[in-house]
Amino acid sequence: MKRRTFIGTSAAASVGMLTAQTGNAMPSKENKPLQLKNNINHSACFWCYNPIPLDEFLGNLKELGVMAIDLVGPEDFPLLKKHGIHASMCWGAGMGIEKGWNDPELHAELIADYERVIPLVAEAGYTNLICFSGNRNGMDDQIGLQNCVTGLQKVLPLAEKHGVVLQMELLNSKVNHKDYMCDHSMWGVELCKALGSENFKLLYDIYHMQIMEGDIIRNIQDYHQYFGHYHTGGNPGRHEIDETQELFYPAIMQAIIATGFKGHVAQEFVPSWEDKISALKQGVTICDV
């Protein structure tokens, strides 16, 4: 997955370029459990906190009172059970971000992989499994959408049987994921409509969609029925979601709550602070409206 390779260079660059932010970080011993309002179900994407070992990070989450984690696979499930942390978004099936369901030549392999992982997710007691459109590679968007429909229709009956929701992530193709096809809300919404299944939703990444189309709150209000999960991130830079960036997350969270959303909101910013867990604590606090 691109996120796994991206973090090695990105986190190092973050600390090097934004050392001024490290002075804001609280020492880890101050990370006592948060007094959460329980209007938002909080989660955090593990890849952003490398090189913290997963076992240690799960302990950090529990100490903060954040009881879910994003972007973990079946090999990680035993550790989650040990700590009592829920997998709010699983991965482990597919060929990464660039090679996805818009390419019919990949369908046989993708179908086999998702047929393998869907039952594992369900058996562990989890619901959400991520998927990707893949890059355009010169393909027309409408053709790519129809290719996604053709392929996903082959695995959705199994997902429905097991109560697993496939969630295609909306990503920006301007800065981070050049040429990615599912890069606008309306393309994803049309895919949801074409599939017509409650077991297929969009992972609405606020950072990515701010870059591609903005109008975040209005799009949440208009299309929330197609959004099954949310990711955060500060823009520009994909760092902390505080006053150093342009999005006002308390208002965005209020808009999500107003839709009646009962899923998870996962922090997916790359911490620039030396104390990554304190940065996470700040992000969760900002979103806990």
- Of 18-22, 91-95, 127-131, 137-141, the range with the lowest mean pLDDT is 18-22
Predicted confidence (pLDDT) at residue 167 exceeds the cutoff of 50: yes
Report residue 247's pLDDT band, with 50, 70 and 90 as the boundaries.
very high
Could you tell me which residues come within 8 angstroms of residue 214 by beta carbon, excluding any fewer than 6 positions away? none
The whole-number pLDDT of residue 277 equals 98
What percent of the chain has pLDDT above 90?
88
> 5 vs 253, which has greater pLDDT?
253
Predicted confidence (pLDDT) at residue 10 exceeds the cutoff of 90: no
The whole-number pLDDT of residue 33 equals 83
Q: Which amino acid is at 50?
A: N
Q: What is the mean pLDDT of residues 34-50?
A: 97
For the chain, the residue count is 289
CA 19 to chain CA mean position, Å: 26
Per-residue burial over 136-149, b if 16 or more Cβ lie within 10 Å, else e, is beebebeebbebbb
Report residue 233's pLDDT band, with 50, 70 and 90 as the boundaries.
very high
Distance (Å, rounded) from C-alpha 102 to C-alpha 213?
A: 22
Q: What is the mean pLDDT of residues 89-112?
A: 98
The whole-number pLDDT of residue 4 equals 39
- Of 20-24, 37-41, 66-70, 245-249, the range with the lowest mean pLDDT is 20-24
Record the pTM. 0.90
Predicted confidence (pLDDT) at residue 14 exceeds the cutoff of 80: no
- Within 26-83, residue ranges assigned H as helices are 54-64, 77-83
Mean pLDDT of the chain: 92
Q: What is the mean pLDDT of residues 149-156?
A: 98
The whole-number pLDDT of residue 31 equals 62
Phi, psi of 96 (to 5 degrees): 95, -175
Report residue 25's pLDDT band, with 50, 70 and 90 as the boundaries.
very low
Predicted confidence (pLDDT) at residue 182 exceeds the cutoff of 70: yes
Report residue 8's pLDDT band, with 50, 70 and 90 as the boundaries.
very low
3.40.50.300, 3.20.20.70, 3.65.10.10, 3.20.20.150: CATH of 2-7+40-287: 3.20.20.150
Q: What distances in angstroms separate CA 247 from CA 45, 63, 142, one per listed residue?
A: 19, 28, 31
Q: What is the mean pLDDT of residues 168-180?
A: 98
Q: What is the mean pLDDT of residues 155-172?
A: 98
The whole-number pLDDT of residue 19 equals 33
Distance (Å, rounded) from C-alpha 23 to C-alpha 39?
A: 30
The whole-number pLDDT of residue 21 equals 37
Kindly write down the DSSP assignment for every residue of 216-232, as one continuous string: HHHHHHHHGGGEEEEE-
Which of these, 200, 263, 279, lies nearest to 43 by C-alpha position? 263
The whole-number pLDDT of residue 171 equals 98
Predicted confidence (pLDDT) at residue 131 exceeds the cutoff of 70: yes
What percent of the chain has pLDDT above 70?
89
Q: What is the mean pLDDT of residues 159-186?
A: 98
Could you tell me which residues come within 8 angstroms of residue 143 by beta carbon, excluding any fewer than 6 positions away? none
> 282 vs 12, which has greater pLDDT?
282
Phi, psi of 99 (to 5 degrees): -115, 105
Give me Rg for the CA atoms of the chain: 18
